[in-house]
């Protein structure tokens, strides 16, 4: 498990039963880490769609001069969806939680984990994930410089849950504790 995945797992554990999905997403709409616990929520689709939302929010904030975007919180009848830029603004972090979640706690947790996630993003991915509009960077980047980390295994939270149910076993203590809300 990469450092990024470890942090995501820890975050998921702290959020507990309200967790649905989370992803670290490049502005090209591709997730570099994360996953969904609910098969009805396609993490890839969330990543791609909310990359568009964040791109548009960024453009609007520049056009109307309201300062740089920190985050966007969407409240629906079923969920909270928070997308926030990380320290490197070519990435954002999207979290989907149930509407039962305590929003204040969720925001505090994200504030706590965001710097850790920023630090854990491998440097060599940064250039590859820059959006299409960043032409200078794209011209300098050789075509073959696709970092291996971008293709690394994504955490499939749903698969984890299925394995637990099929085996009917008790996961190891650390794994179990990760999903218990403190």
Partner 1 sequence: MNGNLKDIAIAEIIQLNCLDRKTAKLQAESPKGQVEIYFKDGEIVHAKLGELTGEEVIYQVLDWKEGSFSLENEASTTKNSVNRSWSGLLLEGARRIDESNTGTDSEKKEQLNGSEGNKMTQKFDEILAGLADEVTGYIASALVGIDGINLAVNEKMKLDLDLINSQMTMLLKLVKNSTEKIGAGALEDNLLTTENAFILMRFLPGNQFFLILSAERKSGNLGNMRLLSKMYTERLMKAMPRA
Residues that bind partner 1 (CB under 8 A): 40-42, 45-46, 49-50, 52-53, 55-57, 60-61, 63-64, 66-79, 81, 96, 132-133
In the complex, least distance from residue 6 CB atom to partner 1, rounded to whole angstroms = 27
Residues 6 or more apart from 27 whose CB is under 8 A from it?
Answer: 51, 54, 55, 89, 90, 91, 92, 129, 130, 131
In the bound state with partner 1, the residue whose beta carbon lies nearer, of 76 and 167, is: 76
Please give the angle made by the CA atoms of 91, 87 and 98, to the nearest 5 degrees: 60
Q: In what order do the strands lie in the sheet with 31-36?
A: 31-36, 19-26, 91-98, 79-85
- Residue 105, judged by CB atoms within 10 A of its CB (0-12, 13-18, 19+), counts as middle
CB closer to partner 1, 63 vs 151: 63
The residue among 7 and 20 lying less far from partner 1, judged by its C-beta, is 20
The nearest distance, CB 101 to partner 1, in angstroms, is: 13
Q: How far is the CB of 28 from partner 1 (least distance, A)?
A: 9
Residue number, 31 or 79, with CB nearest to partner 1: 79
Q: Smallest distance, Å, CB 132 to partner 1?
A: 6
> Which lies closer to partner 1 via its Cβ, residue 132 or residue 173?
132
Q: What are the beta bridge partners of residue 101?
A: none
Q: Are 28 and 51 in contact (CB under 8 A)?
A: yes
Both tokens of 150, joined, read: 């971008």
Give the shortest CB-79-to-partner 1 separation in angstroms.
Answer: 5
Rounded CA-CA distance 26/92 in Å is 7
Tokens of 128: 């590859």
């Amino acid at each position: 498990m990469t450092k990024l995945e470890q942090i995501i797992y820890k975050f998921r554990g702290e959020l507990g039963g309200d967790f649905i999905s989370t992803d670290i997403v490049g502005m090209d709409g591709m997730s570099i880490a994360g996953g969904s616990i609910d098969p009805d929520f396609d993490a890839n689709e969330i990543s791609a769609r909310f990359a568009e939302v964040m791109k548009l929010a960024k453009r609007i904030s520049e056009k109307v001069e309201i300062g740089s975007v920190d985050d966007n919180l969407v409240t629906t009848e079923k969920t909270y969806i928070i997308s926030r830029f990380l320290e490197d603004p070519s990435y954002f972090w999207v979290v989907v939680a149930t509407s039962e979640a305590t929003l204040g706690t969720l925001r505090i947790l994200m504030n706590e984990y965001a710097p850790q996630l920023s630090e854990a993003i491998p440097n060599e991915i940064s250039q590859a994930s820059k959006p299409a509009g960043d032409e200078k960077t794209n011209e300098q980047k050789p075509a073959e410089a696709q970092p291996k980390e971008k293709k690394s295994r994504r955490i499939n939270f749903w698969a984890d849950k299925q394995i637990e149910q099929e085996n009917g076993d008790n996961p190891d203590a650390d794994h179990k504790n990760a999903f218990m809300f403190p």
